[in-house]
Structure formats: C-alpha cells, structure tokens
Structure 1
Amino acid sequence: MQLDFFPSRTLTFYMAKMFIVRIVAMLAVLVLVLMALDLLGTSGEILAVEGNGQGELWTYVALRIPQLISRFLPYSVLLATLITLVTLNQNSEVVSMKAAGLSAHQVLAPLLLTAAVVSVISFAFNERVVTRATATLKAWEGNEFGPVPEDSGEQSNVYFTDGANILMAQRLMGSGEATRMEGVTFYRRDPQGMLSQQVRAERATYAAPGWKLEGIETFDVNAATSGTAEDMVVGETLSLQQIELDKVDADAQDFFELSRSIDAYEAVGRRTSELRAKWWHKISGPLSAFLMPLLGSIAAFGLARSGRLFVRAVIGMALGFAYFVVDNAALAMGSFGGYPPFLAAWAPFFLFLLIGETVLIRTEE
C-alpha cells in the first residue's frame, strides 16, 4: 500500500492530461452549441438597429462567450470526469491501479488536483474578464444594442423606492449631479398603499432635491383619465447617494469591489442579504468544479463487464446536476432572505462534498 496521497508522477500526469483534454473539449462543444442557439434569438434584435452589422454580431459573441464559459465550466468538468473515469474503467486501468495498492482517493487524486487548478483559474477568469464583459453587455442590451458611450456607467432596468412610491428607468447613465434616466415610469401610491397615479416620462434629471421628469404622460387611476405635462418633480427623498448605491450590480463587480459596495450599504443601514450571498458565491461557485470528480467517481469503480457501468455513469451525472439545482435554489433563497448569505452560498458545497465522500468510501469498502 502506498502512503503518498498521489500515485506515481507518471500516472498523475497521464490522468491529469487526459482529464484536461476532455474538459477543454466538452467546454468548447457546450459553448459553441449554446452560442449558436443564443445568436439565433438575439441576432435579429442586434441587426434591427440601424448601422449594426457583422461587426456588432462578433462584439456580442465576444461579450457573451465569457459568461457561457463561466456558467458551464463546472458542467464541462462533470462530463469530462464521467468520460475519463468510464474510459479508464473500460480499459481495466482502474483495476490495475487498485491491484497496485492504490486506494479510491489515490485514484481520484490527479483529477481532484486538476479540478482545484481549474477552480482557481475560473475564479481569476470571472474576476478579470466575466465581470467586465457582463457590465458592458448589460449596458449595451439596456440601450437596445445601440451605441453606448465608453465609460458611461450605464445601468439598465433599474428601480428605486421613494417611500411608498416607485421610480423605474430603462436606462440610468452618468454620475453625481449629472446622473440622468431615460424611459422613466413613476408609480405614486396613496396612504393606503394603493396605486393612485402612473407617470411616464422620456427622461429624468437631478433637480436637487428630487428628479425632474420631462416629456410626461400621466394616468390617474381613480379618475381613469390621462394627460400630458411638460415637466414634473418627483422623488424628493430619493438622494444621489441612494441612486449610487442602487446602481450596484453584483454580477458586474469583482470580489473586492463588491465587498466595498456591501460595506457602503451597511454603513447607511441598507439590506445586504442578496449582495452578501452573491459575494460568498463568487468563491463557492468556481469551487464547484472541485466537487465534480468526487460526485462522478462512482463511474470509476465496479467491474465494467458487470453491465452496470452505464447506470453508474448516470448516477454520477445525476449527483452532479443535483448539486447545481440545489445551489441555484439556495442562492435564490439567500437573495430573498430565506437563508443566511453564508449558508446559502456554502451549504450546497459542503452537503455534496459529504455526499461524494460517503459514496466514495462506500465504494472503497
């Protein structure tokens, strides 16, 4: 029995190389297929804008691919794990390793090490590439794929609360007193909380205090009458500081920037459960790749000629996809305050880590 956790250097590099090649291949296939399907539904909207052409399509592809890589890299690791382990099992290489005195954990060690490296690379890729691509793509989509000025800080589909009233905007641009909104809708409520008036405006600018609406169409709910006005000031309690805080997009900020945004929220007594859960998930999300060899390990053991190898592969795939379902559900619950943020981000990881270890130990016994 070998006392080292890793098998020989030759075997470690052999399995790691096989695993990496399959991860890259599965990721390329998934991204290519999903990107093609995405373009089928989006290319019409992009080309409908005057002046857009093939260059804008390639720009969309360049901004969308990082998001697809980030989202589907763990799936690729899961599929690559199953393919690698099934291949090793069918060729009786796992049996040879076990006969040489390797434990189940030692057989999986090269895959776990490779998956850990993939997790670190995924975290760095998310922080340096995906957040920037997401911010740019959301601003472009919010401008309906029209030209967006560089460094505009544009946000799309935002809403703010002014007491019981709600101010919504299709686009939010600028900073400080130069902040402006386009495609604005203001909902005014009566003291009983019932909607009393709806105001639509082409744009809104900061009026110190409040927000000056221009190009207005009004609808009075109680009288069921509509009208127009040149300008109107609403949201007197909606300060620039609140606007700046509400512009925070967790998906478009890196780990450290989001940490500073959360501190700013907490300093003014704002609710931070959703942002805190996504902050923790920036670490636990990439680490999901490390779990995949453990959850798919059931496909490595058992005799291939027993006829149950396919069933084992299906079980491994089911465990992997169950993790993603539970992870998304827990994150959603954390965003709504149902779970503490730390629990929402990390509970699925540790739960399936224990499940994977249990399956592996039972297999080894």
Structure 2
Amino acid sequence: MSKPSPNPRYVLLRYLSGALLFRVVFCSCVLVSLLEILALLEQTTPILQRHLGILGIFNYACMRLPFLLSGALPLSTLIGALLMLTQMTLASEIAILRAAGLSTLGLYKYLVPATLLIGLAGIVLDDQVTPRSEQALAAWWNRTDPTPEDGHSFWFHEGSSLTHIGHVADGGNILGTVDVYMRDANRMLNKTLHAQTAHYTGAHGWTLYNVEGLDVDLRDQKVDRLEHQADMPWHTTLAPRDFIRLSSGNAPLSTATIIGMLRGQLASDSSPGFLRAGLIERFLRPASLLVLLLIAMPVIYIPPRTGTRSWLPVWCLGAGLLFIVVQGLLRAMGNAGLLPPPVATVPTLIIFTLGALTVLLRNETR
C-alpha cells in the first residue's frame, strides 16, 4: 500500500515556518555577535585590569548573551521576515502561491505560528533566563571589583521602611553606610538607624556594625538619641542577591519578582507604573512581533521588473525601525510616570497595525 500524501497546507506551513525561523535565527546571531563585540571593546580593559584574564572575558560574554539576544529579537524578526519575503518575491515563489489561490491574508496566517513561537521564546527569555544571567553578572562584577566603595548608592522601600545603602561589596554580602528610616502605620517617621557597615552570614543573617540612631516622636516633637551599639541584628527579608539587584538600577526582573514588588512583598526601588508597564510589555511581545511581520508584508508587492532596485524593502525596514523607536519612547514616558502603563504600551501596536493594513489594502486594490 502506498503512503498517503501529506496535506499541502501542512507542507506549506512547515516550509514557510522553517524559512522564517532560519532567517530570524541567522539575523539574531549576526546582531548579537556585533553587540557582543561592541560590549567587549568597552569592558575588556576593566576585565583585564581586575586580572580576570581570558576566562573573565569569556564569562562576561556568556552572562551578557541573554540580555543582548532579548534586545535583538524584535529587529531580528523584522529583518528575517524582510529577507524571506523579498527572496520569495524575487524568485517568483509569491507569484506561484498567488496563482495557486493563496491570498495575502492566507500567507500572513501561515507565518503567524512561527512568529508566535519566537514571541513565546522571547517571553521565556525575558522572564526566566535574562534576570538570572544579569543577576549572576552583577554579582560576579561586584565580587571582583577592587574598589566597591566607589559604587553608586541607592534607595529602596521594604514594607513601611525606607533604606539607603552607600555601596555593595563582596557580591552583596557586605554593605557600606546603611541608613534605615522606620515609619509607623500612619507613615510617620518614628525611628532611624545609621550603621557604618552591614555583613551577611548565612546562619545569623544580617548584622549592623557601629550603629547609632534616633527615636523620633513627631506628634510631641521629641527626638531622643539611641545608645551606640557596636553591633546589632538587622531583621530584613533581603538576601545578598536582592541587594545586588537593587544596586544594578533597572535590572531585568522576572514576573514573580514584579508581582511581589507590586504587592509590597519584595523590596523595590521602582515605581508601580514602571513595573506594570514592564509586565504588560513583556506579555505583549508576541503581539509586537506580529505587528513587525505585518509591516514587512508589503515587500511581496515588489514589481518583477524592478527586482533588487525596489525601495520597498527599505521603506518597510524604516517603518519597522520607527515602530521599535516609538514603542521605546512611549515606554520611557510610561517609566517616568508621564503616561499610564496601558497607554504607554498598547496604542503603538494599534496605530502601526492599522497603518500596515492600510498599505496592504491599497496594494491589493491596485
């Protein structure tokens, strides 16, 4: 008995998905390689000054890789789609598919599964891989820093308390100049603590050294100086890795960490708007890639006689770059609190989707 022939639809789906995935992976490798080279040109001298050698350069490149890949994914998807569709158009494959009855919408539907797969991979990368790699990189960089006291200071809030840290050393196990401002249930200051250093031991937790403080009663306008203590336990839920994260500024965060910050269960140095915008943008990653794919679709209308002389791929590339820039600009405004998180993330998708659909419909009616 002869084997049944495969469904032509699945054959076409596998062919288009494989072609798109191959080109996106190829573009990602090229872009990430360029970004790695630029990053190493900047960081090789500090790495060698710390006597970390070739192994240190290799460690830095490996731990930085997920962050660079996450940033290059949208542009890789855009360029990969443009390359695939342009090559298919110039090779008359699009004309053959159209003659077989495949519409532009049908072609887009065949490319959606691969694009969604790339988007889901981006979500996993942003949510699980990048936060861990950046955490490991920040801890390694801090641990090998010969002058950690020159690091920047930072503030964070934990529950009702505000804390200022002068610097972080030894991969987060040592803190310099710790100032804790404790507040009551009414958010009124009632106690302050100032310590020269804080050390972490796994068995006993955090210990503050050379501690001075004030007992404050704002209602009665009284301030009493607390007795100096050579050392005292510091009851905080933060571990050394948390201080590394806080000292890194806007470090990548997992979804669980963001939700914990929004609920007040984890210490945070970011505004709620910044956290909500990051959460919304992360789960809209597949939608963003679908918009970039839609922006690349007009290249299938390149006239056969024009060939590689057509400016259509350039215009599509420019439109995709504009989408990425506008999306980043609105996100920055959302981070600064100038726009609500939904307004900073969703309108860009809608505007560019409508614009791309307008271009496609205009070409269809010609």
> Under TM normalisation by the shorter chain, which class is it?
0.7 to 0.9
2:193 to 193, 210, 217: 210
SS for the counterpart of 1:125 is helix
1:159 to 151, 154, 159: 154
8 Å contact from structure 2 (residues 142, 171) kept in 1? no
What is the match of residue 300 of structure 2?
Answer: 300
What is the match of residue 183 of structure 2?
Answer: none
Say whether 1:137 aligns with 2:149: no
Q: What do the CA deviations read for 1:304-324 (whole angstroms, capped 9, x no partner)?
A: 313686311011101111111
The one-letter amino acid of 2:155's match is F
Q: What do the CA deviations read for 1:328-356 (whole angstroms, capped 9, x no partner)?
A: 11111011111101221222223222222
Say whether 1:181 aligns with 2:181: no
> Distance between the aligned counterparts of 1:330 and 1:73, measured in 2?
19
What is the match of residue 74 of structure 2?
Answer: 74
TM-score, length-normalised on structure 2? 0.72
Distance change >3 Å, CA 234–CA 68, structure 1 → 2: farther
What is the match of residue 128 of structure 1?
Answer: 128
Shift of 1:111: 2.0
Distance change >3 Å, CA 56–CA 286, structure 1 → 2: farther
Distance change >3 Å, CA 134–CA 349, structure 1 → 2: farther
Shift of 1:287: 3.8
Distance change >3 Å, CA 174–CA 85, structure 1 → 2: closer
> Distance between the aligned counterparts of 1:98 and 1:18, measured in 2?
18
What is the match of residue 311 of structure 1?
Answer: 311
> Distance between the aligned counterparts of 2:119 and 2:364, measured in 1?
26
Distance change >3 Å, CA 75–CA 235, structure 1 → 2: farther
Q: What do the CA deviations read for 1:154-177 (whole angstroms, capped 9, x no partner)?
A: xx7442289xx99453327899xx
SS for the counterpart of 1:8 is helix
> Distance between the aligned counterparts of 1:35 and 1:166, measured in 2?
36
Distance change >3 Å, CA 92–CA 141, structure 1 → 2: same
Distance change >3 Å, CA 158–CA 286, structure 1 → 2: farther
Shift of 1:253: 2.4
Q: Which moved more, 1:127-136 or 1:355-364?
A: 355-364
What is the match of residue 46 of structure 2?
Answer: 45
What is the match of residue 11 of structure 2?
Answer: 10
What is the match of residue 361 of structure 1?
Answer: 361
What is the match of residue 168 of structure 2?
Answer: 171
What is the match of residue 21 of structure 1?
Answer: 22
Q: Which moved more, 1:99-108 or 1:36-45?
A: 99-108
What is the match of residue 221 of structure 1?
Answer: none
Distance change >3 Å, CA 174–CA 32, structure 1 → 2: closer
The one-letter amino acid of 1:159's match is F
Query: What's the % identity of the aligned pairs?
Result: 22
SS for the counterpart of 1:102 is coil
The one-letter amino acid of 1:346's match is V
> Distance between the aligned counterparts of 1:235 and 1:324, measured in 2?
50
> Distance between the aligned counterparts of 1:252 and 1:145, measured in 2?
21
The equivalences for 1:244-259 within 5 A come to 251-259=251-259
Q: Cα RMSD (Å) of the superposition?
A: 3.7
Structure 2 unaligned segments of length 5 or more: list them: 1-6, 180-190, 198-208, 217-233
> Distance between the aligned counterparts of 2:266 and 2:140, measured in 1?
30
SS for the counterpart of 2:337 is coil
The one-letter amino acid of 2:17's match is A
TM-score, length-normalised on structure 1? 0.73
The equivalences for 1:110-129 within 5 A come to 110-129=110-129
What is the match of residue 231 of structure 2?
Answer: none
The one-letter amino acid of 2:303's match is L
The equivalences for 1:275-286 within 5 A come to 275-285=275-285
